[in-house]
Amino acid sequence: MTVTPDLERAHTLSRFWRGTGFSPGELLLTPEMQRTLTLVAATPRRGVQYLRPHFLLNLVRVRGAGYDFTLLEEACDVMVENGFTPFFEIMGNPSDSFDFTGQGWAPRWRDLVAELVQRLAARYGHATLQDWYFESWNEPDLPWWPADAQAFLDYYDACVAGLDAGLPGLRIGGPGTARTLSPMFKAFVAHCDTGHNHLTGERPRLDFISIHEKGVGKSFEDIAPDSVGICRREMQAVDYLRAHHERLADLPLINNECDPQVGWWQHHTWRATAYAPAMITKIIDQHQRLMIDAGTPLAMLFNDNGFMGEWGQRTQFALFGGRDVSKAQSEHVTDLDQVERGRQAAPFSLVKKPALTVMELLAQLGETRVPVKGLTPDTDGPGVLATRHTDGSWAVMLYHSRDRTRLSGPATVSLSLPETEGAWDVLVLALDDVDDNPFAVWEAGGHPRPPVAPKLSAPDAALADMRRAAEPRERIARRFVDGVSLDIDVPLPSVALVLARRASDEAPDPPKPFLARVPGVNGEEWLVSWPGPDEVGLRYDVGLERNGTVTAIVDAPILANAYVMAGDPDGSISVRAVSMSGRTSGWVRARG
């Protein structure tokens, strides 16, 4: 199949997929989540920008006639200091002091929210909070909400009134419902369209509408996700608004839990293989083609995969060693008396999974989308998301994905890029199961463990091999003259990123790496990180210097701005930058 992007139909692309979530908010106070976020924050070009944790207000304590926000502020510091923008659910119950089934609590809730945003503004600045999203209680149509629908509407009124009293103009929306067109969803949008805020008398303010639609329900079997069905059910919400609440129909629509499958904690091995990044990319492309291109005001699409867990769980890392955190995440019960104990973790290690690596590839996409003709990815598998940057360079994401979890097969896409006369540097990076993925490395090493205690384990050599296998593979790196046209293998399942820019032999600027010791499952590990520019296609080598000679330790391009090494490095750790053309900066020794 031959693909040529059509520049005549080019239009602006919004990187609407850059968010993740997890539960509960207490995790932000633990070493495991803090290291996780350090590594997620290293995704280049702010490839993961928004964090949506649950139960943040459970971190607030009632103290006499007032509130102690210390733990909540510390949790928010972890997000902000790592460069994330909070998607702040106004969810939780400080010291269980609110009875949402009773009377008279709404004014107190308004005052709590007002004090909350005033403290946040004092801590981070008014301008910073303008970028945040504030959202109502997560999935109030499930037992997460402890009262009835009328209480939820009263709660939302109090949230809006509190935000407006504390710092007017902050963005707020909801309802974050889990069931398609549930009675709670219908009651909420009707209230925001034709009702009145019972505390202010005004029409309830609503800046965005959030829902949750996923590919398939919970199951211990590998039931195939219905990826197009996600868009179809989202459109049911849009059509309902257009038919019954036209005033709300053009508000930004957000699906901030758009996962292939419900049940983050259930084990499905495909979550550790190339199936996951291919499916994630396909769902993004489907939302662009089937919804945004059709005029639907879709604004954001998140994967709710920021949890900590094992290979088959819906996470961005496999957690080795450490304590069992699954129960705390899936059967959440807040116990702030245990927070200090939670700060002390048994030694652990993290190995990146393809679901995070694909975010590094997607982060390379440009500001302009260039549609392609001739593909039917929703039925045949191969698809293309072609983009262009403002400097004319190309970033084209190819994927091969079928909803069924046990299919495989070959495919080749012939890609021809217009307006590429002269000399161009081309780089093709891939995630597939042709080469070993990190799970396959662990499996082949004879280290499997059951999906319950004992925790995952592996020796340092296996950890190093898994971390190498987690990086994308360089399939093509060469210079084209007078036209970029190439054949790219995209086996099922896989993704491949094609980067093309005008040729340059200029060496990149050297990085400024920083070195930190972190406790690993087998002993000390070394986390090396560096601030990264927004340059597309810039990758890095991490090496060891011995006797004045530096040797790269990873035979794959590192796109992220961090890397973890297990064991004694037996030499000084250094980092260098590598440009699209393959030119390198000098090696720079990491400093701690």
- Residue 179: C-alpha distances to residues 90, 257, 259, 359, 445 (Å): 20, 12, 14, 27, 42
The per-residue pLDDT for 448 is 67
- Residue 488: C-alpha distances to residues 225, 387, 496 (Å): 27, 17, 8
Q: What is the pLDDT of residues 430-458, one digit of tens each?
A: 999 998 899 999 999 887 665 555 688 89
424 contact partners, CB below 8 Å, separation of at least 6:
479, 480, 481, 484, 500, 501, 502, 503
The beta strand positions in 392-513, using DSSP E, are: 394-400, 412-417, 423-432, 473-481, 484-489, 494-502
DSSP 584: B
What are residue 430's DSSP bridge partners? 473, 496
Q: Which two tokens stand for residue 39?
A: 């590594």
Instruction: Tell me how far the alpha carbon of residue 290 is from its chain's centroid.
Output: 22
What is the rounded CA–CA span in Å between residue 262 and residue 284? 18
pLDDT band of 405, cuts 50, 70, 90:
very high
Q: Which two tokens stand for residue 546?
A: 């011995």
pTM: 0.97
Cβ atoms of 574 and 550 within 8 Å: the answer is yes
What are residue 9's DSSP bridge partners? none
Cβ atoms of 47 and 359 within 8 Å: the answer is yes
Cβ atoms of 44 and 559 within 8 Å: the answer is yes
Q: What is the pLDDT of residues 456-466, one digit of tens each?
A: 889 999 999 99
What is the rounded CA–CA span in Å between residue 190 and residue 187? 5
Residue with tokens 């060693």: 321
Dihedral in degrees, nearest 10, Cα atoms 568, 574, 579, 581: -80
For residue 86, the SS3 value is: strand
Residue with tokens 């993961």: 48
The per-residue pLDDT for 331 is 80
The per-residue pLDDT for 454 is 66
What 3 state SS string does 481-497 have? ECCEEEEEECCECEEEE
Residue with tokens 């997890």: 22
Cβ atoms of 473 and 435 within 8 Å: the answer is yes
Average pLDDT value for the chain: 95
Cβ atoms of 172 and 159 within 8 Å: the answer is yes
Q: Is the peptide bond before 493 cis (omega within 30 degrees of 0)?
A: yes
Cβ atoms of 216 and 403 within 8 Å: the answer is no
What is the rounded CA–CA span in Å between residue 306 and residue 28? 11
pLDDT above 90 (res 337):
no
pLDDT band of 592, cuts 50, 70, 90:
confident
Q: What is the pLDDT of residues 139-197, one digit of tens each?
A: 999 999 999 999 999 999 999 999 999 999 999 999 999 999 999 999 999 999 999 99
Superfamily (CATH) of domain 362-502: Glycosyl hydrolase domain; family 39 (2.60.40.1500)
Percent of the chain with pLDDT over 70: 99
Angle at the Cα of 96 (from 81 to 170), degrees rounded to 5?
45
| 362-502 and 514-589, same CATH topology | yes
Cβ atoms of 484 and 424 within 8 Å: the answer is yes
Cβ atoms of 454 and 475 within 8 Å: the answer is no
Q: Which two tokens stand for residue 337?
A: 């008396």
Q: Where in the chain are the domains?
A: 362-502, 514-589
- Do β-strands 85-89 and 133-135 pair in parallel, antiparallel, or remain unpaired? parallel
Q: What is the pLDDT of residues 471-528, one digit of tens each?
A: 999 999 999 999 999 999 999 999 999 999 999 999 999 999 999 999 999 999 999 9
Q: Name which of 59, 75, 94, 116 is nearest 336 in CA terms.
A: 59
pLDDT above 60 (res 245):
yes
How many residues in total does the chain contain? 592
Residue with tokens 């103290």: 63
Q: Which CATH number fits domain 514-589: 3.40.50.1380, 1.10.30.50, 3.40.50.2300, 2.60.40.10?
A: 2.60.40.10
